[in-house]
Structure formats: structure tokens, C-alpha cells
């Protein structure tokens, strides 16, 4: 139980740091990995019309979205 608690506490600390980072930097200047641009480019090739600013769960579940 102590190891699990220590792991959970460490994970929480990492999550707080990550959240603070992504919340305080303008997303267009934020690069989390060396392949961010490639990931985004390939995402957009697959999901050209998907609006990521507002995601509607029902739209994602529609037949057209599938």
C-alpha cells in the first residue's frame, strides 16, 4: 500500500506540473515532443473537418463520424 500511495502522489505531482505548463503557455508556442508537428499534420489528414475547439460527444458518436 505504501508503494502505491507514493506512486499516486508522484503521479499527482507530475499531473499538476503538466497542467500548469499547458495552462500557462499559448498553445501555438507549446511543443511537448519533438514530433508535435508530425502528429498534428497526420491528425489533420485523417480528421480534416473535426473541430477540436468544441467537441460534441453526440457528433463523435454519429454514423457520419464513425
Kindly give the confidence (pLDDT) of every residue in the chain, 66 residues in length, as a single tens digit, with 9 standing for 90 and above.
899 999 999 999 999 998 998 899 888 888 888 999 999 999 999 988 888 888 888 888 888 777
pTM of the model: 0.50
Residue spans of the domains in the chain: they are: 1-61
SS3 43: helix
Is the separation of the CB atoms in 60 and 66 below 8 Å?
no
Is the separation of the CB atoms in 14 and 6 below 8 Å?
no
Amino acid at each position: 500500500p505504501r508503494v502505491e500511495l507514493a506512486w499516486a502522489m508522484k503521479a499527482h505531482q507530475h499531473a499538476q506540473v503538466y497542467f500548469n505548463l499547458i495552462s500557462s503557455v499559448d498553445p501555438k508556442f507549446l511543443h511537448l515532443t519533438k514530433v508535435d508537428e508530425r502528429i498534428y499534420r497526420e491528425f489533420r489528414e485523417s480528421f480534416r473537418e473535426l473541430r477540436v475547439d468544441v467537441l460534441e460527444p453526440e457528433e463523435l458518436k454519429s454514423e457520419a463520424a464513425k
